[in-house]
Structure 1
Amino acid sequence: MTDALAPAIALLASGRCRREVLAEVLAGFGYRLVFIDGPERLTPAQLGSIDTDLWLLDVSDECEAIDWLLDQSDVPVLLGVGDTPEADSEDYPRWKRQLYNKLLPLIGAAPGGEAPTMAPASTPNAPACVWVLAASLGGPAAVKAFLDHLPASLPVAFVYAQHIDATFEAQLPQIVGRHNEWRIINCVPGVGLAPGEVLIAPIERSMQFGGDRQVQMRDAPWPGPYQPAIESVIDEVMRGFAPACGAIIFSGMGEDGVAACGRLRQSGMEVWTQTAESAACGVMPQAVQDAGHSSRQGTPEQLASAMRDWLEQEWAVAH
């Protein structure tokens, strides 16, 4: 039986079968389901009367309920959980793990629940390469535009290092993942990277990749004045995945990451930058370009197109 003190989830999903599958999985995690329905005909007053710790939205179309919750909800809103694989497929345990990883930083674990095994991604599911998406001021909008224009079916995964207050860390998956198919996950120990995933670099704790390429969290903070330290994130990804890695520097203030971008380029790996004209703050990408480390420049949309071409042509030919 679900613990009465377990975090509460209100589920708003299209399709009865979809709701039943999600409700069963969430209950297995130990969470309380306090509301289950479709988005049709629900008024803001009805939504506001529901006492919950989190809204989980899995709907196919935009509607008034979604807009109201995203703008007015006092509790976290998790939008989208990805396509649910068949229960007997190899992808099903990974899908459950990804869903749990999204819930954990938002509402915590449920007492008495069963957490899915944090197994590393199997070799066939490993990404061809891992790139760092680095940003500061104005970064979420730029990174979202990049991901919105890039198919999640490509053989690549990303580590997203965003200078941001730690109180907003849990919201980044919703901010940059809305309207695209990328699986955006907050960082927890033991998680591995698979194609189509974006791992949020933690703010208050540093991380590294172990020999099995799984995330290892450190108790120590990131070195230097920035949290997370883009410099260190790039170095960790390079240490864990080189030569199958690269970096894109988006909108931001400061020069965090410039030296690490130089190390990437010296090792023959790609470094791309958002054009200063298209950035809310062009200081950070311009600093990388002025240092001579940027091998390609463009708007987020142009960089997405270049990434697709690079993966399908240059990377495929070279590897």
Structure 2
Amino acid sequence: MLPSKKALVRVAIACNSKEMRLRTRRILEQQGLIVVADGPLELPFLTTAESYHANVLFVELDEAYEEQAQVLEKLLEQASLPMLFNEGIFQDKKKRTTLAKWGQRVSEKLTKLATSTPPRITATGETATPINSVGFSVEEEKAPQRVWVLGASTGGPQALRRFLSAIPGTLPIAFIVAQHIGSNFLELFTKQLSKYTRFSVEVPKSGHLLQHQQILIAPEKHDLSFDDNCCLTLLPTVRDYRYSPSIDLLMCKVSKRFGPMAGAIIFSGMGDDGAQGCRYLFANGGTVWAQDAASCEISSMPDYARATGAVSFSAPPEELARNLVKLLGKAKDGASQQGAIN
């Protein structure tokens, strides 16, 4: 008899509160998961979780999240295990029935993370699962017309990898990624994303010409803008934004330049960065989507985005990618029909 999926899940729990670690361990074990280790939210434990033969990492955040942000940034870059973040179910007193439901939801997410991985693009450019072709021509790749912002924070790197893995290499679009991450990790983050996409991935410099099939990583503490020819200008940030790079600011700049051809997707993250940008982009005729809460490690940012009323579609990263392919396919067909009429 084959073991169940839950029996294959070996969890390491990271949390600064010993009491919370013990309660989480009990709840997850009641759900049939195997907890192989628990420890503080510190890099020595986080980056060695694999040595305990864990295949998924569960991270409990507390009220000191902002003080832990630097540790989490390093964790997202250094750890190879899939991770699930929780904002602290035990901050308030919870009824036993509520904890049981919470435990069931968390165990389902951990099981899914531990038993499935997104397709990787190998060094030869081949993928574990074929990237579908939707018939976009090579000529269309060069026109810098449609630009979408991909906003993300905690849990964002994993969501972005899942999303980009499902994007065809000929899709006529450019992405600008605003991921809350320190400048010391930009190069590594760029290299990691490039393994999951046929698009070029780079941190731009002033004068860069924006084109389709590009993914530009917005650097922190810099304002990014465009001229009429889609050349980029990068200047040191004048204002002290709460988040850097500012998803709100980037969405507004892209919306101002590209109008109805602009779009944005708000992925996993903590905080409300992107909410103001959603309102601005939507008011200018742009398209706003968000990752669904169930597939997020932290759903605060997508939840704030949805609360603006600007989000027209929510789904897991892979489905967001498939829907974008369909959207651009319809736009292409509509343009062809308009050309035939004219």
Specify the code of the residue in structure 1 equivalent to 2:145.
A
Higher helix proportion, which one? 2
* Residues paired across the two proteins, number: 206
In the alignment, structure 1 residue 212 sits paired with structure 2 residue 220: no
Gaps of 5+ in 1: 1-69, 73-78, 83-121
What's the counterpart of residue 168 of structure 1? 185
What's the counterpart of residue 242 of structure 2? 225
After superposition, give the CA deviation of every residue in 1:121-151 in whole Å (9 maximum; x if it has no partner): x998223300000001010110111010010
Alignment of 1:214-253 (within 5 A): 214-221=231-238, 223-253=240-270
Instruction: Select 1:309's aligned residue among 318, 326, 329.
Output: 326
Instruction: Specify whether residues 314 and 125 from structure 1 end up closer, same or farther in structure 2 by C-alpha distance, changes over 3 A only.
Output: closer
CA distance in 1: counterparts of 2:285 and 2:332, whole angstroms: 13
CA distance in 2: counterparts of 1:80 and 1:188, whole angstroms: 26
CA distance in 2: counterparts of 1:81 and 1:184, whole angstroms: 17
Q: Percent identity?
A: 33
Query: TM-score with structure 2 length normalisation?
Result: 0.56
Q: Which runs of 4+ in 1 moved over 6 A?
A: 79-82
CA distance in 2: counterparts of 1:246 and 1:126, whole angstroms: 16
Instruction: Select 2:292's aligned residue among 275, 286, 290.
Output: 275
How well do the aligned residues superpose, as a CA RMSD in angstroms?
Answer: 2.6
1:202 Cα shift? 1.2
User: Helix, strand or coil: the match of 1:227?
Assistant: coil
What's the counterpart of residue 183 of structure 1? 200
Task: Name the stretch that deviates more: 257-266 or 124-133.
Answer: 124-133
Alignment of 1:101-180 (within 5 A): 125-180=142-197
1:217 Cα shift? 1.1
In the alignment, structure 1 residue 287 sits paired with structure 2 residue 304: yes
User: Helix, strand or coil: the match of 1:199?
Assistant: strand
What's the counterpart of residue 283 of structure 2? 266
What's the counterpart of residue 300 of structure 1? 317
After superposition, give the CA deviation of every residue in 1:139-198 in whole Å (9 maximum; x if it has no partner): 011011101001020110011000111211122221212132121111211111111110
Is residue 255–residue 280 contact of structure 2 (8 Å, CA) maintained in 1? no
User: Helix, strand or coil: the match of 1:218?
Assistant: strand
Q: Which has the larger radius of gyration?
A: 2
CA distance in 1: counterparts of 2:332 and 2:262, whole angstroms: 11
Is residue 138–residue 279 contact of structure 1 (8 Å, CA) maintained in 2? yes
CA distance in 1: counterparts of 2:223 and 2:124, whole angstroms: 27
Instruction: Specify whether residues 191 and 282 from structure 1 end up closer, same or farther in structure 2 by C-alpha distance, changes over 3 A only.
Output: same
CA distance in 2: counterparts of 1:317 and 1:259, whole angstroms: 31
CA distance in 1: counterparts of 2:159 and 2:284, whole angstroms: 27
Instruction: Specify whether residues 251 and 128 from structure 1 end up closer, same or farther in structure 2 by C-alpha distance, changes over 3 A only.
Output: same
Task: Name the stretch that deviates more: 152-161 or 205-214.
Answer: 205-214
Query: TM-score with structure 1 length normalisation?
Result: 0.60
